[in-house]
Amino acid sequence: MGECSGAASYRLHAVLAQLRRLLPYLHRYGWRYTVGATCVIAAVALRFSIPFLLGDSIDSLRETTDVAPEDAGRLREQILVGALLMIAAAAAGAFIRTTSRLMILGNSRLAVHDVRTDVFAQLLRLAPSFYVRHRTGHIMSRTVNDMQNVQGLLGPVFMYLVETGVLYSVGIAFMVAADPMLTLVGLAPFPFFLYLARRLARRVQEGSRAAQEKLGDVSAKVDESLSGQRVIRSLVVEDFDRQRFDELCLEYRATMVSVAGSRAILTATMTFLAALSTFLVLAVGAPAVSSGAVTVGQLVAFILYLGMLAGPTRTLGFVLSSLQRGAAALGRIGEILDMPVTIADGHGEGEIRDGEIDVSRLRVEFASSKDEIFLSGSLEEGEVRGGRVVLEDVSFRVPAGTTLGVVGPVGSGKSTLLRALARQVEIDPGMVRIDGNDITELPLPEVRRQVAVAPQDAFLFSDTVANNVRFGEPEAPMEQVRDAVEVAQLSADLDQLPAGLETMLGERGINLSGGQRQRTSLARCAILRPRVLLLDDTLSAVDTHTADAILARLRPLMADRTTVVVAHRLSTVRDADRILVLDEGRIRESGTHDELVALGGYYAEVYAQQSQREGLERELGVEEAS
């Protein structure tokens, strides 16, 4: 018994802890909620005045059969006044009730807008590693589906909780005033049914949380399948993909059916409670009327009071399940809000003016799942993701205005190095400095503005080509857009697009080739004119001739800027002032192109192979598609 009580206390504490998150939003719109709650109280008082007036009128009507003719007129006038008062109370109650709903339900939309804004702002602050650990569908489920449940918590649940509390308080007061004994009889079944409702509501909460996580799996699967349609169709695995989707949907359906069953039992239980209470009152009240202890009007009013309590008692199941479901949703959203921001804004006041880079004993380690914080449902039960060291003891210096090439085998840490220079991964203080400033102490807006990254996997938005190019400079004139497009050698492809720069792109730029997407991303960086330019194998999807042309157009832009170029095609970095060879996260070779060729190591071997292949392609007249 003690263990059950302790568990119940823990669950109540957990729910209250989640609900405390709403206090700032409730306080922000406190006066609106106060007005709404006051209107609820007034509307309830007016509703309970109607049975009282009706009962009094019934008793007066019965008296008219036994009174003298001279008193009958007075009683008829009294009944007419009671009828008019009931009409006035009903009209006023309807107006005030409507006002309460406009205030409370309207506020819920304002408050949930603030919650949604805070969640989105938090998502923008979280490091890229957060999105590596979590599937898009799971995040979308929290920001869309769970947000609807939170809106219910801020609106209907709040309103019905206030209304139910006031109904019980005012209703019991009226019932006790009418007949204390009938009050005890009518309310006798309530404690047992409320206990049962609490048990069922807990089951609904647990099922609702599981259902939301299942829905996150379905959302993630839909996102994955839509993004990978080309691969799915090229491998002719539509049936297999559909089977995986059906399995997830069946799991979600089974969970929802279980939750719906619990809700149905909860509603039926509350309905039976109302019927049982009415039966008990009639069973005890009818003899009392016969004996004259209770008038007919008092019994009718009492049954109406009980019926008015039966309504909120039936909805109490909805309120409890919605409260539990909203608390569960708020907890899932709270996991995002509580996620630590590992790449925080620096407190220094330094600026990036020249772009000199100094890297000292850089170490980047991706932690294992045991050391990371995951959103609930993001890891399968028992799943463990191992950590690994990606970069170890990497040190080098890039003078301002020079170009550094970075090459190495797949998985050697080249892209991670660029992400560390752009402060997109967590690093310790002092490992990366730009113009003598510790990058972890620089304000993030300064780093983002002066350090531009053109990734290998270019992401384009569902917007025009021009707006994608000037995404980082929304106010840039078309002349700058055209100049950036010219630098990226994308201008020659504009004739192939229906509306040139104003061509609307599909999701992720699906109607462009891989090379065109990379060049659009490169143009996006060129228009920013940053002090540090990081190119992550940006020319891998274009042919050698186009790559050479792009590099030729980039050289004037790179002349007074620090540039770090990651490449698999060594001809891309041949003219760099210095070249690093990474292998297994460490620097294995360093020097100019001629020095590395003379060294006879990895660089010389790969350069010889690529030179031989490019020579053969020229002889055969073969060029890579762009």
Beta carbons of 494 and 505 less than 8 angstroms apart = no
Supply the pLDDT for residue 382: 46
Of 371, 395, 396, nearest to 384 (Cα)? 371
- Tokens representing 581 are 């060879």
Tens of pLDDT, residues 2-17: 445 544 554 556 666 7
- Tokens representing 443 are 């304000």
Q: Which CATH superfamily is domain 22-338 in?
A: ABC transporter type 1, transmembrane domain (1.20.1560.10)
Supply the pLDDT for residue 624: 46
Side-chain half-sphere CA neighbours of 218 within 13 A: 17
Intervals of the chain under pLDDT 50:
1-3, 6-7, 10, 371, 381-384, 622-626
pTM for this one?
A: 0.70
Return the residue matching tokens 């050479």: 548
Interatomic CA distance for residues 8 and 13, integer angstroms? 9
Supply the pLDDT for residue 580: 93
Interatomic CA distance for residues 341 and 335, integer angstroms? 12
Supply the pLDDT for residue 372: 57
What residue spans define the domains of the chain? 22-338, 357-370+386-620
Q: In what order do the strands lie in the sheet with 388-398?
A: 388-398, 357-366, 432-434, 437-438
| Fold agreement between 22-338 and 357-370+386-620 | no
Classify domain 357-370+386-620 at the CATH topology level.
Rossmann fold (3.40.50)
Of 61, 60, 51, nearest to 90 (Cα)? 51
- Specify the DSSP class assigned to residue 309: H
Supply the pLDDT for residue 73: 66
Interatomic CA distance for residues 324 and 318, integer angstroms? 10
